[in-house]
């Protein structure tokens, strides 16, 4: 299958995040994508293609215009105040505070963020715009008749909601791809999130819709990030009732438990009978991941890809998390190559 990739991801490079009481280098780093690209090339998965420019309209189809405009100008506004360091929020619009958008760039940063681990840097806008184009170009490959396409996106996207960033995510690449498939002939799209962390942003975007079925297998938010969403009783609302399916699994769950959830999710997807599948492909369910607590081995990622291939659906895979940098390429490409050989 083709891989869509842009070097511009490198321009998003946060310096540090707060971890275990100290500032450590950001887990979400450019080397992650390098490792995946190296593995794509080493295994001969397929051609590596640059994305084509799609402009902002497909981004605005899933994100709030004010939020997008904020991201576009945030770094310049921050820098104009003499700040040459990563833009990070330090407070949130918690209960009973004023519900208005602040005027100041720092206030707006707080308003549009869900956590303090998602830095805006000089190159963030360029990187996330290129990332959206990567996801859209992978969706175009499916629209053109391909059975599978890989969007090698960085930073990830699944925590980004209609109008907020967080969890290292700004634009929801997988949601943008799913919406693009909808706009180009797919009547129903299933979006399966296998990242260790609940895809709160994707859930937010499609929660009231019955044309995009969202399913997520993740560490239980009772103990795991993002804590405030991802419980099993979140089933969608309005027209979307029944089209949001969460499989929260206790941190430390076994591989068998994980694959039981995948089997259930695949059953729901088959019943939905979508025209296409989008996979939020985080590989942080890996046993060696530094910030996650599932136990999948590299071989288990082959099994994941094989199971997804058996759905018999054309699929766009968007890279999400995975912070064991050395094996991230093996794990991600294992899913893709096993998918391809079982379709
Ligand atoms: C992103 B993805 C605050 C940040 C806490 C955030 C984890 C984000 C995971 N310092 N950790 O789903 O892999
Ligand atoms: Zn994750």
What share of the chain in percent tops pLDDT 70?
A: 100
ipTM: 0.95
**Which residue has the least CA distance to atom 4 on ligand 1?**
117
pLDDT tens digit string along 50-82? 999 999 999 999 999 999 999 999 999 999 999
- Distance between CA atoms of residues 34 and 336, nearest Å: 17
Domains and CATH numbers, the chain: 2-342 (3.40.800.20)
- Whose structure tokens read 């859209």? 136
Mean pLDDT within 194-201: 99
Q: Which of 106, 165, 125, 176 is nearest to 318 (CA)?
A: 176
Q: What is the C-alpha separation between 257 and 247, in angstroms, rounded?
A: 10
Q: Is the pLDDT of residue 343 over 90?
A: no
Which residue owns the Cα nearest ligand 1 atom 10?
Answer: 117
The contacts of residue 55 (CB under 8 Å, 6+ apart) are none
* Average pLDDT value over all residues in the chain: 98
Task: Tell me how far apart the alpha carbons of residues 329 and 302 are, in angstroms, rounded to a whole number.
Answer: 12
Q: Among all ligands shown, which has an atom nearest to the Cα of 174?
A: 1
Does ligand 1 come within 6 angstroms of the Cβ of 117? yes
- Average pLDDT in the 286-315 region? 98
Residues with Cβ < 8 Å from 83, sequence gap 6 or more? none
8 A C-beta contact, residue 172 and residue 318: no
What DSSP string describes 156-210? --TT-BTTBBBTTBSS-HHHHHHHHHHHTT-S-EEEEE-SSS--HHHHHHHTT-S
Q: What is the pTM of this model?
A: 0.98
Active-site annotation holds for 159: yes
């Amino acid at each position: 299958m083709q891989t869509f990739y842009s070097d511009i991801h490198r321009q998003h490079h946060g310096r540090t995040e707060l971890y275990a009481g100290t500032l450590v280098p950001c887990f979400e780093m450019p080397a992650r994508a390098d490792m995946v690209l190296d593995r794509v090339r080493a295994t001969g998965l397929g051609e590596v293609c640059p994305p084509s420019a799609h402009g902002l309209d497909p981004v605005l189809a899933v994100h709030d215009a004010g939020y997008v405009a904020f991201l576009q100008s945030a770094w310049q506004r921050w820098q104009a105040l003499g700040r040459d360091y990563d833009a990070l929020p330090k407070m949130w619009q918690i209960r009973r505070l004023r519900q208005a958008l602040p005027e100041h760039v720092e206030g707006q940063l707080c308003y549009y963020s869900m956590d303090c681990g998602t830095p805006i840097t000089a190159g963030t806008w360029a990187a996330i715009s290129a990332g959206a184009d990567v996801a859209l170009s992978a969706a175009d490959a499916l629209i053109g008749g391909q059975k599978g396409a890989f969007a090698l996106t960085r930073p990830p996207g699944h925590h980004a909601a209609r109008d907020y960033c967080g969890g290292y995510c700004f634009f929801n690449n997988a949601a943008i791809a799913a919406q693009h498939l909808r706009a180009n002939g797919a009547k129903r799209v299933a979006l399966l999130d296998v990242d260790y962390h609940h895809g709160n942003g994707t859930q937010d975007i499609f929660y009231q819709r019955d044309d995009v079925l969202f399913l997520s297998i993740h560490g239980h938010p009772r103990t795991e990030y993002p804590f405030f969403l991802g419980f099993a009783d979140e089933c969608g609302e309005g027209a979307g009732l029944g089209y949001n399916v969460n499989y929260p699994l206790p941190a430390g769950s076994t591989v068998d438990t994980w694959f039981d959830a995948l089997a259930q999710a695949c059953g729901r997807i088959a019943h939905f009978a979508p025209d296409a599948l989008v996979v939020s492909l985080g590989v942080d369910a890996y046993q060696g991941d530094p910030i996650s607590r599932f136990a999948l081995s590299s071989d288990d990622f082959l099994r994941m890809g094989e199971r997804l291939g058996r759905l018999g659906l054309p699929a766009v895979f968007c890279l999400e998390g995975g912070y064991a940098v050395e094996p991230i390429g093996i794990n991600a490409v294992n899913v893709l190559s096993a998918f391809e050989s079982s379709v």
